[in-house]
Structure formats: structure tokens, C-alpha cells
Amino acid sequence: METVQETIRPPVHEKVQEPVITIRHLYKSFGANKVLADFSLELKKGENVAVLGKSGSGKSVLIKCIIGLLKPDSGEINVLGQPVANLDHDELDRIRVKVGFLFQSNALYDSMTVRENLEFPMRRHWIKMTPGESSDRVMETLKNVGLAHTVDMMPVELSGGMRKRIALARTLILNPDIMLYDEPTTGLDPITGKEISKLMMEVGEKYNTSSLIISHDMNCIRATADRIVMLIDGKCYADGSYEELKRNNDPKVKQFFE
């Protein structure tokens, strides 16, 4: 049984040595299209890192490699000390319990109610709890994203922003150590996008997660990330805080800040 981790999250500016995700020399190509070429990244505990890149630059491929949905051609991916690419199905499942993945399109199950959507990961990961406990957990998580009243609604009845929150709740319900956000604000209006960004920060504090945010929405990145990694030409092109990168004069970097 998973419990909410009570450890207090250290302040961001204190450098924590323990990396939760380590990516080294990652290569991935689809046919002749080399998406990732020698990409390396390190995410330390408690850190919020954004991966910035153009559409089709391989951001989604990167995040799917981390969670094991795609297998890299070569390179090394360590998540919580485990080499993801070499794990069998059961071992991968044990890692995935600790890694939350917020999909770009939310991926809420249309045929299920909000409650069933939230219960699904718990049920599927064999987390044993009584119906009462499970219901309490669902309500608590929904409260954390501010949508407790939607518990018995179907996903199609909800607005885009609400669906994003429900999807976030579904990833949080397992108390993950790491959160992977795949373009969390894409397709939302700027105001809702800002709300989601704020919510991401809040839950990050509350659930004590490290997060990897993939986006091309500079507002979101600016609000959520401690550090930004520029994914250009399949590799880590530049690395630094928002302010540092903004001062960078490289044209490929600069175009993101115009």
C-alpha cells in the first residue's frame, strides 16, 4: 500500500545530490528520421525541469521513452535507479506506480465516470484497499484539484480545463515521486493554462514530487520550472534557468524568447 510521503521537501536552491532520472546518450529514430541523437539529462530529487522544444522535436518521444512506452535505440535511461529499457513488464509496472504521467490529450477513459477513471490506476496496480478507503482517496485527490463535485460525471460532460485537472488527479492518486507532464497547457486558453500551471506547482508542493515538464508554452515553463533544457536537433542544446537562457544569444535559443 502506498502512503503519502511525509518527508519534507527540501528547498529548491539547496542542491540535492540524488538524481531520480538520469538519461545518457539517448538515441531514438523512426526510420530515417533521427528524433533523439545523443540526448542527456539529469533530474534531481525535488527539481522541476522543463524540456523546451518545437513541435516534432522529439519531446513526446523522450517522455515516452522515460516511462517505457517506447524503447530507445541506444543510450541509458535510469528512473529511480532502474534501467527502464531493460526491465520486464512487472518491474516496469513497479516503476510506473511511482511515476505519474499527464498526457497531452488527458487520456481520460470515455466509457468511465470520473470516479472510475481515478480508481482505475489503483485497481490495476493491485493496490489493495477497501471500497471506503478507495473512495476517500478519490475524494481527497479530487479536492486537491478542486473538482470534488464532478465525481460521478462522465469525462465528456467536463470542459477542457476540468478534464486536465481530472487527468492530473488520476496521476496523483498513486502518490508518485516523479511527475511527467506532456504539454500540460496545450489546447487550453491562456487563463486556464495559468490556472493549470498554478495547480501543478501546488500539487508539486503537496505531493512532494520531482517533475519533468515538456512544453513549448513559455508562460507555463516560466511559472513551473526551476531549470529549462532546450531540446534542439535531438540533443540537449542549452541548459539553464529562464533568466540565464533569456540572455543567451544563440539564434536557435533566442527564437523561443521572442
Binding test (CB under 8 A) with other proteins, winner from 8, 32, 126, 249: 126
> Is 139 a residue that touches other proteins (CB under 8 A)?
no
Give the other-Cβ count within 10 Å of 98's Cβ: 17
Binding test (CB under 8 A) with other proteins, winner from 41, 75, 101, 158: 101
| C-alpha cell of residue 83 | 534501467
Taking CB under 8 A as the binding criterion, the range among 17-25, 35-43, 102-110, 186-194 that sits at the site for other proteins is 102-110
Q: Which amino acid appears at position 216 of this protein?
A: H
Taking CB under 8 A as the binding criterion, the range among 73-81, 105-113, 202-210, 235-243 that sits at the site for other proteins is 105-113
Closest contact distance (angstroms) between CB of 110 and other proteins is 7
**Would residue 182 be called left, alpha or beta, if left means φ above 0 and alpha means ψ between -120 and 50 degrees?**
beta
Binding test (CB under 8 A) with other proteins, winner from 54, 125, 198, 206: 125
Indicate the SS3 state at residue 160.
helix
111 exposure class (CB count in 10 Å sphere: 0-12, 13-18, 19+) = exposed
Place of cell 512532494: 208
CA 192 to chain centre: 18
Element holding 166 (H helix, E strand): helix 160-172
Q: Report the C-alpha gap between 216 and 184 in whole angstroms.
A: 10
Binding test (CB under 8 A) with other proteins, winner from 106, 144, 211, 215: 106
Binding test (CB under 8 A) with other proteins, winner from 5, 74, 86, 105: 105
Nearer to other proteins, 106 or 144 (CB): 106
How many residues bind other proteins (CB under 8 A)? The answer is 26
> Is 49 a residue that touches other proteins (CB under 8 A)?
no
Q: Which residues bind other proteins (CB under 8 A)?
A: 64, 67, 69, 89, 93, 96-97, 99, 101, 103-111, 113, 115-116, 120-121, 124-126
